[in-house]
Structure 1
Amino acid sequence: MVARVYLRILLLLLVAGCAPLPATAPTSMPSSRLPLQARWQIQYTGPLQIDIDVDVFNVDLFDAPAETIALLRRRGVFVMCYFSAGSYEDWRPDATRFPAAVLGKELAGWPGERWLDIRQLDALAPIMQTRLDLAVSKGCDGVDPDNVNGYANDTGFPLTAADQERYNIWLAEAAHQRGLLIGLKNDLAQIPALVASFDWVLNEECFSYQECDLLLPFLQAGKPVFVIEYELAPAVFCPQAQALNLNALHKHWQLDAYRVDCREWRAHP
């Protein structure tokens, strides 16, 4: 099964490489500091271990000190700053700014986190704009907004694909207005509509769910693809990631300092 999926993905990549790009002008912001092929790290828990040789580092917007971000950037590292744009987290310093009317059902398995009614942009925009301003003030190169696929989940609100697309494009435009790059997180079904607005895509477990082919429009557009796998062993997915030019990591679920980067992984003889 894995071999058949690999061949299918590789064929789609070859086809995508020959297909013309969309005629519409992209609204994303290309940056020479965000390479297509990147060694990278993502760490949200535990003391940040920044003494590693990477091109890209993904950190928590609220928790990462500005001094650490500045140090990474002086070394030429592209810094992505994470925040949740589609959910409320009761431990964040701005949690009291969210009105009760925008709070939906809890995210399964994530205590203290609830889906947001992204249709209420008048209520959410000032909060998200402040978060983007924080990213600018901390020196982030780009932002990694999470939970931007609420319409495909049981949020407690009748969200539609059109609602999600509208909200995600608004986020991208708000980031670009501030000189920030922005990535699309896990909203696979809307990639064809959103690839022009975002600067990279970050996906969790596309190899596990056999859906990496859905990421190919980003590669076709010359934009990097970042993948995290938690359950599959590196030996299972790293050869495919290397062949497909995906920037893939094996990580613990808690996103601590542990990492296996497929760009550095080699099969044992």
Structure 2
Amino acid sequence: MRTVFFPFIAFCLLLSLFFAPLYAANDWYRPPVGATWHWQLDGEVNESYDVAIYDIDLFDSSVELIQRLQASGKKVICYFSAGSYEDWRPDATDFSEQDLGKTLKGWDDERWLDIRSSQVRDVMVRRLNLAAEKGCDGVEPDNVDSYRTNTGFSFRANDQLDYNRFLATQAHQLGLGIGLKNNPDQARLLSSDFDFAVTEQCFEYSECRSYSGLIQAGKPVLNAEYRRIYVDDESERNSMCKQSQRLAFSTLVLPKTLDDQFRLSCEP
């Protein structure tokens, strides 16, 4: 009996060592519905908010900042653009001219990217690796709904779905949570691939219910509103916040510059 038992234990230990990386790879950050958050992409990050999540810039945020926030009990989501070229980023020269499309409306130093390009995808993998190396808990890739825009390229909705799922798969393989940014028309189809959503002005543009599938799946919707009336008129803000609470969204009223000039929360 003993000669069978001990080899069996040794065999089980070997199996556990073999499969351990697979289990670890599934252990990425999944925020709960109703998670509190702060979003700041410009200026010196205000570290004083008592929230569960900080959403900050991948390139501009130091490892020390990320570690300080985590040491205070916060999770850190790192922002980068996955659908546009930004000429000031340190990896801007990694893109080929042929993969750069039209200028983004209102953002003269950004151009749309050809999301079908293998070179573009290689850059995004490096950005995701940078997020993992810096210790981010998750990522917020922006501009992942460009199929609806005149980018200068002729890709379609299925190309966008493929690209977004590629980003999600790569993030998860690195142990990173990932949020779906501003893609209401594909939110239902992508709700199983992403761990949360980050939306802008979904109440202003009547897009909030498009994200209900994420809430039903236990995944939070982190929403930001920019209308000045929500700052100046408390009754208007309260009315919007009541809608947000009914939908179980995590809504903030912020400056569009996301520089912490002010911050109003719909937390109950």
TM range (shorter): 0.7 to 0.9
Is 1:46 the counterpart of 2:43? The answer is yes
Cα pair distance change 1:189/1:235, threshold 3 Å: same
Please name the residue that 2:52 is paired with. Answer: 55
Structure 2 length-normalised TM? 0.85
Q: CA deviation at 1:31?
A: 5.9
Aligned with 2:264 (options 231, 250, 260): 260
Which of these two proteins has the greater Rg computed from alpha carbons?
2
How far off its partner does 1:42 sit?
Answer: 0.3
1:116-127 aligned within 5 A: 116-120=113-117, 122-127=118-123
CA distance in 1, matches of 2:207, 2:31: 24
Deviation digits for residues 13-52 of structure 1, max 9, x if unmatched? xxxxxxxxxxxxxxx9676762321221000111111011
- Structure 1 spans left out of the alignment, 5+ residues: 1-27, 265-269
Q: How far did residue 236 of structure 1 move?
A: 3.7
**Alignment match, 2:233:** none
- Number of residue pairs the alignment of both structures matches: 236
**What 5-or-longer segments of structure 2 have no aligned partner?**
1-24, 231-236
> CA separation in 2, counterparts of 1:255 and 1:118?
26
* Contact 2:27-2:175 within 8 A present in 1 as well: no
Alignment root-mean-square deviation, CA: 1.5
Amino acid at match of 2:146: G
Which structure has the higher relative contact order (CA within 8 Å, separation 6+)? 1
Q: How does 1:119-138 map to 2 (within 5 A)?
A: 119-120=116-117, 122-138=118-134
The one-character-per-residue Cα deviations of 1:174-227 (angstroms, maximum 9, x if unpaired) are 000000000000111111211100000111111001121101000011101111
**Which of 73, 87, 111 is equivalent to 2:108?**
111
Q: 1:191 aligns with which of 187, 190, 194?
A: 187
Checking the alignment, whether the CA contact within 8 Å between 1:40 and 1:261 is kept in structure 2 is no
Q: Residue 65 of structure 2 aligns with which residue?
A: 68
Deviations 1:91-150 (A, max 9, x none): 000000000010000000012100001111x11122111101110111100000000011
Cα deviation, residue 76, structure 1: 1.6
Q: Are 1:83 and 2:86 an aligned pair?
A: no
Which residue identity lines up with residue 43 of structure 1 in the other structure? Q
Name the one with the larger helix percent. Answer: 2
* CA distance, structure 2, for counterparts of residue 210 and residue 103 of structure 1: 31
Contact 1:29/1:199 (<8 A) preserved: no
Q: Which amino acid aligns with 1:260?
A: L
- Find the counterpart in structure 1 of residue 205 from structure 2: 209
Structure 2: how far apart are the matches of 1:32 and 1:176?
9
The 8 Å contact of residues 214 and 220 in structure 2, kept in 1 or not, is answered as yes
Aligned to 2:139, what secondary structure does the other structure show? strand
Secondary structure of residue in 1 paired with 2:108: coil
**Is the Cα contact below 8 Å between 1:33 and 1:78 reproduced in 2?**
no
Residue 200 of structure 1: aligned partner: 196
Q: Does 1:219 align with 2:223?
A: no
**TM-score normalised per structure 1:** 0.85
Is structure 2 residue 138 aligned with structure 1 residue 142? yes
Identity %: 47
Answer whether contact 2:30 2:177 (CA < 8 A) is retained.
no
Matched-pair contact (CA < 8 Å) for 1:89–1:114: yes
Please state whether the residue corresponding to 1:96 is helix, strand or coil: helix
